[in-house]
Chain A
Amino acid sequence: ETGVTQTPRHLVMGMTNKKSLKCEQHLGHNAMYWYKQSAKKPLELMFVYNFKEQTENNSVPSRFSPECPNSSHLFLHLHTLQPEDSALYLCASSQDTQETQYFGPGTRLLVL
């Protein structure tokens, strides 16, 4: 299944590094999302983009910076992260914000 792809699949970074996560959807959807999934916790919505415009920022620290250049691509820029930011970061897309969401495989991030 390649509807929603994410790269890299795994990432290890130090607290002073800068890295970016990439998400691409091939479904013609208009809405894209970033979620964080930590062990034993529910998925946490981070950001929502609809028609390239950010419509929700769920009180995410500024060390996470999203970018949506077009409806098919979504980035999450990371800088000066903390060890507690280690988690699975999932991208999703949907036709609109109230339709079924399709998830990418996620990027498993470890911050040392």
Chain B
Amino acid sequence: RKEVEQDPGPFNVPEGATVAFNCTYSNSASQSFFWYRQDCRKEPKLLMSVYSSGNEDGRFTAQLNRASQYISLLIRDSKLSDSATYLCVEERGKLIFGQGTELSVKP
């Protein structure tokens, strides 16, 4: 089983849609998680950290479900500029990256 598993997509959604990605992790002892965003042919950049209580940053909401060992990212009112690959990351002394979920927002 992969350490960090994501649905690779692609997710094709219209502008204004709400889209959610899930990511599962295998190590129940892991404490820290992040979502990174990677644009086509660019480097990954931190989008947001994921806290146990859930956290929100504008249109983006990240949540952690320890019982089921998954984290989620919700994007509301999606914009064309949200098109990218979203990487789920587990921190366990080092960063473990998921394969990424590709999002394409269409006009």
Contacts and interface: CB of A to CB of B under 8 A. Distances in A.
Interface string A82-100: 0000000010000001101
A43 B34 contact: no
Interface residues of A, number: 18
A10 to B, nearest CB: 11
A58 B37 CA distance: 24
A69 interface: no
A19 B46 CA distance: 30
A41 B94 contact: no
B44 A42 contact: no
Interface in B45-104: 45-46, 49, 87, 91, 93-95, 97-100
A105 B42 contact: yes
B43 A56 contact: no
B100 A42 contact: yes
20 contacts: A40-B8, A40-B99, A42-B2, A42-B97, A42-B99, A42-B100, A43-B87, A45-B94, A45-B95, A90-B43, A90-B44, A97-B93, A98-B91, A98-B93, A100-B34, A100-B46, A100-B49, A101-B46, A101-B95, A103-B45
Given A43-B87, A45-B95, 18 more contacts: A40-B99, A41-B99, A42-B87, A42-B98, A42-B99, A42-B100, A43-B44, A43-B97, A56-B94, A97-B93, A97-B94, A98-B91, A100-B49, A101-B46, A103-B45, A104-B43, A105-B42, A108-B41
Interface of A: 40-43, 45, 48, 56, 90, 97-98, 100-106, 108
